[in-house]
């Protein structure tokens, strides 16, 4: 009782989804920025003349932007279908437009990768995501960063903070693909 249903393409629903997703992404410390795929459902519970609590179910996909980049979800490109992580976020957000308040009360996101069998059915030679904590991926990241450190004009060396995504593909032998975070060290290249 007292809950209003919204069409998923109306302005209030889109604004609530945008504000909720911005705050969900800002709260996260690991992984990649979520991008809105579609609004699955929206319910509104008016609290006062200008404020409402929105109950949202959002279908999301991850992007190419790491959450540490602090980029907005609308500014981040979605990954290609065979490398994406997709899922659903349920969120409760209070919005009071007159007082310029948007407070995310709670959220829960459930994510999963596209199963390899579906990827191989469409693209048999495509690399498939693997566990980024495997030592072979850290080794690949360290080798890649060594080349960057050698060729860059930066004044300090960088080190690998952690590997965030990893995949492998057999070509002539194994080919490793890694995405990783780096941090600047105190080691100067001039020393």
Is residue 137 domain-shared with residue 109, that is, in the same domain?
no
Stretch 35-64: mean pLDDT? 91
Is residue 95 domain-shared with residue 163, that is, in the same domain?
no
Number of domains in the chain: 2
Stretch 34-57: mean pLDDT? 90
Q: What angle do CA 167, 142, 173 make, to 5 degrees?
A: 45
Is residue 105 domain-shared with residue 152, that is, in the same domain?
no
Show which of 86, 117, 148 is a domain's final residue.
117
Is residue 111 domain-shared with residue 157, that is, in the same domain?
no
Inform me whether the pLDDT recorded for 1 exceeds 70. no
CA distances from 65 to 23, 36, 97, 107, 133 (A): 16, 14, 29, 21, 20
CATH of the domain at 99: 3.10.450.10
Determine, yes or no, domain membership for 154. yes
| pLDDT tens digit sequence for 122-143 | 777 788 788 889 999 999 999 9
- Residue 6 pLDDT class (50, 70, 90 cuts): confident
Q: What is the per-residue pLDDT for 171?
A: 79
Is residue 106 domain-shared with residue 132, that is, in the same domain?
no
Determine, yes or no, domain membership for 143. yes
Is residue 133 domain-shared with residue 108, that is, in the same domain?
no
| pLDDT tens digit sequence for 75-103 | 999 887 767 789 999 999 999 987 888 99
Q: Which residue has the tokens 């981040």?
A: 76
Is residue 10 domain-shared with residue 98, that is, in the same domain?
yes
**Three-class secondary structure assignment of 96-119:** ECCCCEEEEEEEEEEEEECCHHHH
Is residue 69 domain-shared with residue 159, that is, in the same domain?
no
| pLDDT tens digit sequence for 138-183 | 999 999 999 999 999 999 999 999 899 998 887 788 889 999 999 9
Cα–Cα distance, 32 to 65 (Å, whole number): 6
Q: What is the per-residue pLDDT for 5?
A: 80
Show which of 117, 137, 162 is a domain's final residue.
117
Q: Residue 163 is part of which domain span?
A: 127-188
């Amino acid at each position: 009782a007292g809950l209003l249903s919204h069409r998923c393409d109306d302005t209030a629903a889109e604004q609530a989804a945008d504000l909720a997703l911005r705050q969900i992404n800002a709260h996260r410390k690991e992984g990649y920025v979520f991008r809105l795929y579609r609004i699955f459902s929206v319910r509104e519970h008016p609290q006062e003349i200008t404020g409402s609590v929105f109950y949202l179910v959002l279908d999301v996909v991850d992007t190419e932007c790491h959450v540490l980049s602090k980029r907005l979800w609308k500014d981040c490109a979605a990954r290609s279908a065979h490398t994406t992580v997709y899922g659903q976020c349920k969120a409760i957000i209070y919005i009071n437009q007159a007082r310029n308040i948007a407070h995310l009360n709670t959220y829960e996101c459930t994510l999963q990768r596209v199963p390899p069998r579906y990827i191989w059915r469409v693209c048999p030679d495509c690399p498939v995501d693997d566990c980024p904590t495997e030592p072979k991926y850290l080794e690949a990241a360290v080798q890649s960063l060594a080349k960057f450190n050698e060729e860059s004009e930066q004044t300090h060396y960088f080190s690998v903070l952690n590997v965030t995504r990893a995949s492998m593909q057999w070509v002539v032998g194994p080919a490793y693909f890694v995405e990783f975070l780096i941090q600047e060290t105190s080691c100067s290249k001039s020393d």
